[in-house]
Every structure is written in structure tokens, then in C-alpha cells.
Amino acid sequence: MAGGAIATTRLLQAQRASAVENNNSTVNLKPAPALAPIMGTGQPETPVLAYNGIVSGPVLRLHQDVLFRADVQNGLDEDTTVHWHGIRLPNAMDGVPDLTQKSIAPGASFQYAYSPPDAGTFWYHPHDHTARQMGRGMAGALIVEEPEPAGFDRDVLWVLQDWELLPDNEIVDGFDDVMQGMMAGRIGTTVTINGTLPTPVPLRAGERIRLRLINACLARFMALRFAGHKVVVMALDGQPVTRPFEPDGGLTVIAPAQRVDLLLEATGNPGSTYAVTDEFYGYDGSYKLTDLAYSVAPKLITSSKPITLPPNPVPAPDLKNPVRHHLTIVGGGMSGMGMGGMMGGMGMMGDSNTPVAIWGIKGSNGLNEGMTPIFTLPLGRTALITLTNTTDWWHPMHLHGYSFHVLSRNGVVAKYPHIRDTVILRPKDTVDIAFVADNPGNWMFHCHVIEHSDFGLMTVIRVA
């Protein structure tokens, strides 16, 4: 009956509309002090700073191109903002105090509103007092759903954080330590997944899992090995790769702020267990992150259709006609040396009234200075930026407001073309990145080892 069919269609449309509303209507986020069971149940809880009382923060699931609003009410006793890491949004929504907005004072509120143009794995975190607030727990996943499900059997999210805890599980104070800041930053000793000490991750034989990894640590890099399993990189920093690939040597490297979406095929046998280890810091620094624990359920019969993620509408750079710039990272402590090498190429040290700058970014007009743009890109042009790391340290360099193509590393063209918002510069690396400067505003460009950024490894790129 025609009338019945129309009624059904209307009902379905209404249901769909309300599903979208539920996902993308206003979300309330309240950062405030809280207690969190970092070390698991039965252990003393840890005083943290948290969004809506939980660590990691609430998982926000958004729809591509649908307006999203977040009402942020500051329940902390200090200023804060929210930064939507990796989202190509209007400058005024970017959450950088004194650059894109006034910081949100204690008790005050701010409403963010934007439509995310890209589907994928993103995250949010504060951008004021970032080391302390993020280091005490404030970070959450922001997932922008594809319009159609991509064909995985299950979606699994790991928000990775690390903590430096005292025996009573309180967080060690001091997020502004110069010694840590001039070296690798604060690398906590306890690594958690989704806010608690990892417990075995249940798996069913045969299933195809989308494992979304978010590194929300202040400074810890990771290189994950999934024993007995082959993993395939599907997306980096939310952006699908054009050709999915197995990571080199079976190690999934993920720097602070980066995300990796993996296809994890549960090829193990029912009842078996496999370790996931983090081997970034070599033999001595390796540890078991968690176990993959197969249930005894028989193998799931699932589709064998290849899984692909639809590309996002990130514009292709025009490499025939780019605006070129060169930025050089300088400073830091010298590895294996004392204070003598601390100034590297910088030759500047604050007096007692100004913060110590132990890192810097050098453009053609000299060193970065606070929030003063280091250069201006003409709106709409392709920017090709060469980044050189003269220091002895690793830096995950992040550009706000954009996703950029990583063209080459040390002159070698990227084997697997990829788009990122945070790119690793190893000691002495030179990396070429390119993007179409189509998003006007003042955009931060900084190292995501937060202490590096706090001690000077940050600048602003203006697009106008």
C-alpha cells in the first residue's frame, strides 16, 4: 500500500534525522578536577583533570559535514580552551588562546561550532596550560564517521596516555621542568588505554577490526608490535592512505598527537593469547602494553571483500607552482652531553622575567617570536615547506587547520603517499610537506612534545 510505504519512509527519515541530531547536536563538555581509576579497580584513585569526570574524555562521534556544537563550561580553577586536533575548521573555532579566542576563564563558557569536512580519527585536548591539563588527563577521542560503514566487523578505540605516578597513584607534579623540556619531555612510566591500566583485549577469531590508535601522551612515542598478527595501515591522522600498507618491520610507529587506523585481522585461534608490545625505546625500554585474548567462540565467518576507506576532500597541492618556505628547528640539549650544548644554534636565554627559550624555529627572517606569524601564505596557493631538524631530538611537528601531504624525507619520495597533520622529524631529518593554503587565519605550527612547544618550539603561520 502506497500510503503505508510513504509513512514508513517518513518514519525512517525521522529516525535517521534524530540519529544525526544525537550525534551532532550540542555536546556539553565540562573540564574539572575528578578522581579516576587509572590503576584499575581496587586501587587508590588518581586525582586528575577530566572532561565530564572521565579519563580519557567522552568519545565524541560526529558526522561528516554536519554541524556540531560543543558547550564548554570551565570547571577548573584556571583558564582553558578546547582544540579539535586535526579538524580543518574555521580559525575562530581552533581553540588557541590569544590567537583565535580569549581563553575560557574559570566558571565561564564558550561554544564551539563547526562541520567537520573529513571523516576519520581525531581528538580534542586543551590548548592553555596544555602540559599540565593534558598531562593530568584532559584528552578525548573525536571520531568523524564515514557516510557508509567501511566494512569492518568491529571498531576498537585505544586512547593511549602515559602517567608519572607516585606510590599512592597521585600524579607527580611539575609539568614545566626545564631539564625534561630541553630533552625528550615528560615520559610517564604508566601507560593506559582509554584511561586505565590495560586489561586483555577480547577478540573473536576471524573478525576484522578497525583499531583506532590515538597517542595522547605529552612526549612518549610508541612503536607497537602485534605478535602473531599482520596489521595494515588504513589511515594516518584521520586521512585514509591511498594504498593500505603493512608498517615497516611490523612496527606501528605513533608519535604524540598522531593517530593510526589499523586493520587488525583476527587470524589467531580461538582461546589463544598474543602480546602487544611497545618497542619504541629499544630493548631496555620495551614493555608489554596489553594482550589480545581470543575467546573460545568459533571463527567468525565474515566477508573477505577488501576494505577501503573513502578519501577525504583534502585538496591536491599544485606542485608546479608552489610558494616555498624553509623552517629549521634549532635548540635543545645535546644528547649525551651536559649543559654546554644546551643552546644549540639559538644563542638566546631568557632573563629571570621571561620564559626560557631552549627551542626555536628559524625562518628566512630569523627566529620565531611568540605568536607573531613567521610568514604569510597567500590564500589559495599551494605551500611547499621544507622542515629541517638540526637538533638531536625527535619532534612530531603539527600544523593547525590543515592536513598536509608528506612529500619526501631526506630527499626520498614517500613510498606510501600519505596526508597528516603531525609529522615526525627524527634528529637531522629534512621533510617536505605541501598543502593548499585554503583556510584563512593564524594557524599554530608546533612540536607536539608539549614541553618542547612550551619552551619555544612553536610558531604561527598566517594564511591571508
Show the site string, 57-96: x = touches Cu ion by CB under 5 A, - = not.
----------------------------x-----------
C-beta of 56 vs 290, nearer to ligand C2O: 56
398 binds ligand C2O (CB under 6 A): yes
C-beta of 152 vs 402, nearer to Cu ion: 402
Question: Which of ligand C2O, Cu ion, none does residue 444 bind to, with CB < 5 to 8 Å depending on kind?
Answer: ligand C2O
Mark residue 147 as left, alpha or beta (left: phi above 0; alpha: psi -120 to 50; beta: remaining).
alpha
447 binds Cu ion (CB under 5 A): yes
Among residues 257, 314, 383, 433, the one that binds ligand C2O under rule CB under 6 A? 257
Among residues 75, 81, 83, 145, the one that binds ligand C2O under rule CB under 6 A? 83
Shortest Å, Cβ 167 to Cu ion? 30
**DSSP states along 338-359:** -GGGTTTTT-----TTS----E
- Compute how many residues bind ligand C2O; rule: CB under 6 A: 10
Joined together, the cell numbers standing for residue 231 give 596489521
User: Cα–Cα–Cα angle for 398, 261, 139, nearest 5°?
Assistant: 55
Nearest to 388, CA basis, from 437, 429, 422: 429
Contact 23, 67 (CB under 8 A): no
What's the Cα-to-Cα distance from 425 to each of 31, 188, 222, 274, rounded to whole Å? 32, 21, 14, 31
Among residues 130, 188, 452, 463, the one that binds Cu ion under rule CB under 5 A? 452
Among residues 129, 132, 400, 409, the one that binds Cu ion under rule CB under 5 A? 400
Among residues 63, 400, 409, 420, the one that binds ligand C2O under rule CB under 6 A? 400
Is the link from the previous residue into 295 a cis peptide, with omega within 30 of 0? no
Give the number of C-alpha atoms closer than 13 A to the C-alpha of residue 347, restricted to the C-beta side. Answer: 4
**Chain residue at closest Cβ approach to ligand C2O:** 85
Shortest Å, Cβ 448 to ligand C2O? 6
446 binds ligand C2O (CB under 6 A): yes
Among residues 449, 450, 458, 460, the one that binds Cu ion under rule CB under 5 A? 449
What's the Cα-to-Cα distance from 292 to each of 198, 205, 231, rounded to whole Å? 11, 11, 13
Nearest to 456, CA basis, from 357, 349, 332, 345: 357
Q: Among residue numbers 97 through 136, which ones bind ligand C2O (CB under 6 A)?
A: 125, 127
Shortest Å, Cβ 458 to Cu ion? 10
Question: Which of ligand C2O, Cu ion, none does residue 449 bind to, with CB < 5 to 8 Å depending on kind?
Answer: Cu ion
Describe the strand order of the beta sheet including 208-215 as a list of residue ranges.
190-193, 154-163, 208-215, 259-265, 231-236, 239-245
As a whole number of angstroms, the distance between CA 116 and CA 67 comes to: 7
444 binds ligand C2O (CB under 6 A): yes
C-beta of 207 vs 454, nearer to ligand C2O: 454
Q: How many CB atoms lie within 10 A of CB 298?
A: 10
Question: Which of Cu ion, ligand C2O, none does residue 63 bind to, with CB < 5 to 8 Å depending on kind?
Answer: none
Residue numbers at the binding site for ligand C2O (CB under 6 A): 83, 85, 125, 127, 257, 398, 400, 444, 446, 448
